């Protein structure tokens, strides 16, 4: 129990420190390019068409809300990032991969950057970040896009 | 012909009103806050409507939301200061914390660590919680101040702005 509480404290502390400091510092380039931002409408269209080639979609946030997505857990936590890493190690470098979190606006999200940095470091060539600039509610659920059961 | 004109007029006015209705997003000051009845950490359902006759702050938050976590000690100060105060339309100040957490463990640990002593409820559905829709929540933290009848007095005030508003409704 004590460990759990101290983990929570650590996470809360790290979130606040990170959220209010270097997250989207001006001048520091984001670990993704504009071309790597995937339009939610495009992903929704693909997910709604089972005959289309499907990407592997990882939730690196609180909950795998998007249909057929795989829950990793918050990527800001090392254990979750390691679990993502071990899943990625089994995939070809040109796999079609989509990352999303959707808890908060990008500038405050503690999870998307570690995940995108990992994919970059592992030299994947075909990965995207789902463009949820506000959050998963406003940019996905409110549009009626497909949800997990 | 007259019937046709009448019919067109009815259809047009109907679509005008429907449109006006659809454009009204979320809740406005003066609206009645819709009912929320979610479990507390102990598993008892606590209804918002059970807080009638008190000044109530609905605080929508989550342990994963850094600015929300940062705000909790400020809310604790307000709670301590005003919980037994008499207001124009209610006796006492209560906070009804609604968490959009996804994991029970994170939620409960958060409440414990932050030492929150006011009402806490959650359906643990993250952004899929029906309240996110009924209250048209766009971002966290988000809050509403209600009077003793459950009518919305203020929307999304924080820090000194929130305290000023609470003071405004003191007897």
pLDDT in tens, B84-126: 999 998 899 999 999 999 999 999 999 999 999 999 999 999 9
Q: Where are the domains of chain A?
A: 2-143
Q: What is the CATH number of domain A2-143?
A: 3.40.250.10
Q: Residue B19: its pLDDT value, please?
A: 47
* Cβ-defined contact of B112 to A5 (cutoff 8 Å): yes
Q: Where are the domains of chain B?
A: 26-168
* Cβ-defined contact of B69 to A63 (cutoff 8 Å): no
Q: Is A135 on the interface with B (CB under 8 A)?
A: yes
- In angstroms, what separates the C-alpha of A94 from chain B's closest C-alpha? 32
Q: What is the CATH number of domain B26-168?
A: 3.40.30.10
- Residue B56 to residue B166: CA distance in whole angstroms: 10
pLDDT band at B171 (very low <50, low <70, confident <90, very high): confident
Judged against a pLDDT cut of 50, whether residue A115 lies above it is answered with yes
Q: Residue A21: its pLDDT value, please?
A: 42
pLDDT band at B21 (very low <50, low <70, confident <90, very high): very low
Helix (H), strand (E) at residue A129: strand A127-130
Judged against a pLDDT cut of 70, whether residue B5 lies above it is answered with no
Residues with Cβ within 8 Å of B147's Cβ and at least 6 positions away in sequence, in order, are B55, B87, B88, B89, B90, B153, B169
Q: Name the percent of chain A lying above pLDDT 70.
A: 83
Average pLDDT over residues A35-62: 97
The CA–CA distances, whole Å, from A20 to A104, B70, B145 equal 13, 11, 27
The CA–CA distances, whole Å, from A111 to A67, A142, B36 equal 20, 22, 30
């Amino acid at each position: 129990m004590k460990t759990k509480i101290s983990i929570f404290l650590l996470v809360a502390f790290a979130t606040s420190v990170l959220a209010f400091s270097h997250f989207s510092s001006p001048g520091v380039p984001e670990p993704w390019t504009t071309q790597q931002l995937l339009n939610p409408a495009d992903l929704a269209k693909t997910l709604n068409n089972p005959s289309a080639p499907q990407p592997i979609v990882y939730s690196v946030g609180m909950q795998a809300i998007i249909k057929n997505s795989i829950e990793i857990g918050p990527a800001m936590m090392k254990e979750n990032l390691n679990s993502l890493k071990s899943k990625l190690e089994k995939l070809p470098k040109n796999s079609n991969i989509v990352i999303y979190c959707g808890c908060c606006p990008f500038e405050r999200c503690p999870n998307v950057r570690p995940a995108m940095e990992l994919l970059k470091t592992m030299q994947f060539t075909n990965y995207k970040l789902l463009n949820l600039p506000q959050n998963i509610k406003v940019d996905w659920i409110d549009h009626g896009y497909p949800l997990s059961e | 012909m007259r019937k046709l004109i009448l019919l067109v007029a009815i259809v047009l006015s109907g679509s005008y009103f429907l449109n006006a209705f659809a454009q009204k997003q979320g809740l406005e000051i003066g609206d009645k806050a819709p009912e929320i009845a979610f479990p507390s950490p102990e598993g008892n359902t606590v209804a918002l409507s059970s807080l009638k006759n008190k000044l109530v702050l609905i605080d929508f938050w989550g342990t994963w939301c850094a600015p929300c976590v940062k705000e909790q000690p400020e809310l604790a100060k307000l709670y301590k200061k005003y919980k037994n105060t008499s207001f124009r339309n209610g006796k006492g100040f209560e906070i009804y914390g609604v968490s959009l957490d996804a994991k029970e463990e994170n939620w409960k640990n958060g409440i414990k660590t932050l030492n929150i002593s006011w009402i806490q409820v959650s359906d643990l559905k993250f952004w899929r919680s029906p309240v996110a829709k009924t209250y048209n929540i766009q971002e966290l933290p988000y809050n509403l101040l209600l009077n003793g009848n459950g009518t919305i007095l203020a929307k999304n005030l924080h820090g000194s702005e929130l305290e000023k508003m609470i003071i405004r409704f003191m007897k």
